[in-house]
Amino acid sequence: MADTPDRGPLPLTNDMADRIDWQKGDGLVPAIVQNAEDGQVLMLGYMNRDALMATLESGYVTFYSRSKKRLWMKGESSGNRLAFVDGAMDCDGDTLLVRVRPAGPACHTGARTCFGDSLPKGAGFLAALDELVRDRRAEMPEGSYTTSLFDAGKARIAQKVGEEGVELALARMKDDPAEIANEAADLMYHMLVLLADCDMQLHDVITILADRHRA
């Protein structure tokens, strides 16, 4: 490893390969794969220098298979590829974080992740719900409340957001924590429907919030 980073993770770029400590793991480093949308950890793989360069050049995550002794692009047979978004090297230079947009289940068993099929926890669940709402708009399954909102059109969707906002404000005036939580949940859900209805997503809102935070 030519240089040890002075602080924090460094972004993965084509010139980063020389700063990674390949020797510590006999030419391999672990690569933690994370969903860029909801933050959920999907799997753990291993990369050598060639796998990293193939990932950066192709835009799809490529690992080194320790059993097959060769490079393999995740999803090369199943089609469930991992589109590379960005990544970072840890402070010791011997572990990679790879953020991706998965095209399907990350696990060969068909599970959402290699650690189980559960949805992300905490704030990450909102991103998963956002994806579900957008899927509902694309598929429009019968009997779904979300489908009925999309069928009703933008005026009804906008009306529901307004109604839920007022109900949340009234709940606050009652000092009722349970009602506040329920009304806030209703407002957030209907907001996701409104975003999907105009071909937007939660990520668009988060980007603006993050930009404002940096400012």
Domains of the chain: 10-102 (3.10.20.810), 124-214 (1.10.287.1080)
What the block records as the tokens of 84 is 């590379």
How are beta strands 29-35 and 96-102 bridged, if at all? parallel
What the block records as the tokens of 204 is 């668009």
Q: How far apart are CA 215 and CA 209, in angstroms?
A: 10
What the block records as the tokens of 176 is 């009722």
Residue 204 CA, distance from chain mean position? 13
Give, in degrees to the nearest 5, the angle at Cα 85 between 188 and 208: 40
Mean pLDDT per 10-residue interval, the chain, length 215 residues? 44 81 94 94 96 95 95 93 94 94 93 93 92 96 97 98 98 97 98 98 93 86
User: What pLDDT, on the 0 to 100 scale, is given for residue 8?
Assistant: 45
Instruction: Report which of 198, 200, 165, 157 is spatially closest to residue 183, judged by C-alpha positions.
Output: 165
Determine contact, residues 95/77, Cβ cutoff 8 Å. no
Instruction: Report which of 151, 152, 163 is spatially closest to residue 191, judged by C-alpha positions.
Output: 163
How are beta strands 41-47 and 29-35 bridged, if at all? antiparallel
Q: Helix, strand or coil for residue 119?
A: coil
Could you tell me where the DSSP H helices lie in the chain?
A: 49-58, 124-139, 145-152, 154-174, 177-197, 202-214
What the block records as the tokens of 79 is 């089609």
Determine contact, residues 132/119, Cβ cutoff 8 Å. no
User: What pLDDT, on the 0 to 100 scale, is given for residue 4?
Assistant: 39
Q: Which whole-number Å values give the CA distances from 62 to 56, 84, 98, 179, in the listed order?
A: 9, 9, 11, 48
User: What pLDDT, on the 0 to 100 scale, is given for residue 10?
Assistant: 60
DSSP element (H, E) containing 85: strand 82-89
User: What pLDDT, on the 0 to 100 scale, is given for residue 165?
Assistant: 98
